[in-house]
Amino acid sequence: MNNTLFVTAGDIAEELGISKPFAYKLVRQMNEELEAKGFLTIAGRVSRKYYEEKFYGITKAAYKDEKRGTWFVSFHYNDWTGKNCRKVKRGFKTRREAVDWEQHFLMKEGSDLDMTFSEFVAAYTRDMQPKLKHNTWLTKEHIVRTKLLPYFKDKKMRDIKPKDIIQWQNKQISYRDEKGKPYAPTYLKTLQSELSALFNHAVRFYELKSNPVTKAGPLGKGRAEEMLFWTKEEYLKFAEAVKEKPYSYYAFQILYWCGLRLGELLALTPQDIDFENKVIRITKSYQRLQGEDIITDPKTPKSKRVISMPDFLCEELQDYISRLYGVLPTDRIFHMTKSFLHHEMSRGSSLAGIKRIRVHDLRHSHVSLLISMGFSAVSIGNRVGHESVDITYRYAHMFPTEQSQMAMKLNEEFREGTVK
């Protein structure tokens, strides 16, 4: 009989460290179980495969090298790419050592990634790119290509430790551009978030043991410390300064008085504006990506909304669109670039003698105006496409009247409870 197909009572006694009589008893029990299932058996020995499944919970096998008097393992496994590979390891003194080594190897392959960081990025791309919006993926890909791959590309995923992450963090913190400016805290936070997302994916779907980014600690800040905005008086000075250029003036009017995101503004078409009901319907967003005009869904599901316009803005937009020659209902009505609007912001701010803010800060300015007018966080959130909890969190310092009212109400409750 082939010694690799069956195991004898003597082999079992040696391997398990038990007496031969007890080993014979185990062989009889296993053979009886096999006979009950309809299999053929041989007295004094039992199927090696059945024995391994019974005592090791595995279907792997170790083999005796009769010439050398040692044991070896030979088995197949799938590597991280899904490729079927064969592994042979020789020179074990006992069968138990051989099986233990095989189990340890397979556990290591299953729990740690053997691929390099750059190889995992390729796998991550295959997994995630089809699931993300085109503009979201391009932003992610740029950060991975320019900020992560240059540092980690040749390191194996399983060998990247928290200390490596800390060294990378310090490199980002020490960065200075040609003008001596460091990365903004919010940008540092974005870089770390992208790196952590890669390792989280490896933990969830590729059996990496843990995320070293989490253990390394935070980098940067989620929000800028200072939120810039214009008061109504400042905006009116600015609007007067840029009024001689209708193209940019009307864009700024919508951004300030309606609180649109820039991408939402640039995606607007005549059919999105209902002059009869004086509303703007936000259903899409625009971006210029890799030389192409890309129209996507708005930033979040909440961003799809209907915004009521004040009468004066409705009249201005009617006048503006009527002066666009040959415009169709589905044509975009604003074709300026982000850099053009930034330039106009700088020009108008200088002419008006007011502080310079970003284009996106006009959205903050709109929210601050609505807060000063006494509108609730829920109403404001619905108008600008934010959850009310986000409005409350980000603009809490702008709700002084509500805080005072809360304190007064609590004071009244206290007095009612103590007065007999």
Contact call for residues 246 and 356 (beta carbons, < 8 A)? no
Rg, C-alpha atoms of the chain:
35
Q: Where are the domains of the chain?
A: 1-59, 117-216, 232-402
pLDDT at residue 402 greater than cutoff 70:
no
Record the tokens describing residue 18, joined without a space.
Answer: 């038990």
pLDDT of the residue at 58: 46
pLDDT of the residue at 205: 83
Q: What is the DSSP string of 259-302?
A: ---HHHHHT--GGGEETTTTEEEE--EEEEETTEEEEE--SSGG
34-60 as b/e: b if 16+ CB within 10 A? eeeeeeebeeebbbbebbbeeebeeeb
pLDDT tens per residue, range 281-290: 999 999 887 7
Strand partners, 78: 84
Dihedral sign for Cα 325, 330, 335, 341, please: positive
Q: Which residues are CB-neighbours of 122 under 8 A, at least 6 positions away?
A: none
pLDDT of the residue at 1: 34
- In 3-state terms, what secondary structure has residue 213? helix
pLDDT at residue 414 greater than cutoff 60:
yes
> What is the rounded distance in angstroms from the CA atom of residue 204 to the CA atom of residue 208?
8
232-402: CATH topology is hpI Integrase; Chain A (1.10.443)
How large is the average pLDDT for residues 119-131?
90
pLDDT of the residue at 403: 58
DSSP letter for 154, please: T
Record the tokens describing residue 403, joined without a space.
Answer: 């805080």
- The fraction of the chain above a pLDDT of 90, given in percent, is 46
> What is the rounded distance in angstroms from the CA atom of residue 32 to the CA atom of residue 162?
54
Strand partners, 294: 287
- In 3-state terms, what secondary structure has residue 227? coil
> What is the rounded distance in angstroms from the CA atom of residue 99 to the CA atom of residue 51?
13
How large is the average pLDDT for residues 258-273?
96
pLDDT of the residue at 65: 83
DSSP letter for 158, please: G
pLDDT tens per residue, range 174-191: 999 998 999 988 899 999
List alpha helices for 155-211, DSSP H: 162-173, 185-205
197: number of CA atoms within 13 Å, CB side? 17
Q: How confident is the model at residue 2 (pLDDT cuts 50, 70, 90)?
A: very low
Q: How confident is the model at residue 81 (pLDDT cuts 50, 70, 90)?
A: low
**Count of helices and strands (H, E) across the chain:** 19, 10
N- to C-terminal Cα separation, the chain:
100
pLDDT of the residue at 56: 54
Residue 84 has phi, psi (to 5 degrees) of -80, 120
Least confident of 90-104, 205-219, 293-307, 309-323: 90-104
pLDDT tens per residue, range 157-172: 989 999 999 999 999 9
How large is the average pLDDT for residues 299-312?
91
Record the tokens describing residue 223, joined without a space.
Answer: 């929000």
pLDDT of the residue at 147: 96
pLDDT of the residue at 208: 86
- The fraction of the chain above a pLDDT of 70, given in percent, is 86
Helix (H) or strand (E) holding 90: strand 84-92
Least confident of 262-266, 375-379, 381-385, 397-401: 397-401
- In 3-state terms, what secondary structure has residue 254? helix
CATH number of 117-216: 1.10.150.130
pLDDT at residue 297 greater than cutoff 70:
yes
Mean of the per-residue pLDDT values for the chain? Answer: 85
How large is the average pLDDT for residues 234-247?
95
pLDDT at residue 401 greater than cutoff 70:
no
Of 368, 340, 326, nearest to 266 (Cα)?
A: 340
pLDDT tens per residue, range 348-385: 999 999 999 999 999 999 998 998 888 888 888 899 98
Of 201, 193, 195, 180, nearest to 220 (Cα)?
A: 193
395 compared with 152, residue with greater pLDDT? 152
How large is the average pLDDT for residues 325-336?
93
Q: Which one-letter amino acid corresponds to residue 54? A: K
34 compared with 195, residue with greater pLDDT? 195
pLDDT at residue 298 greater than cutoff 90:
no
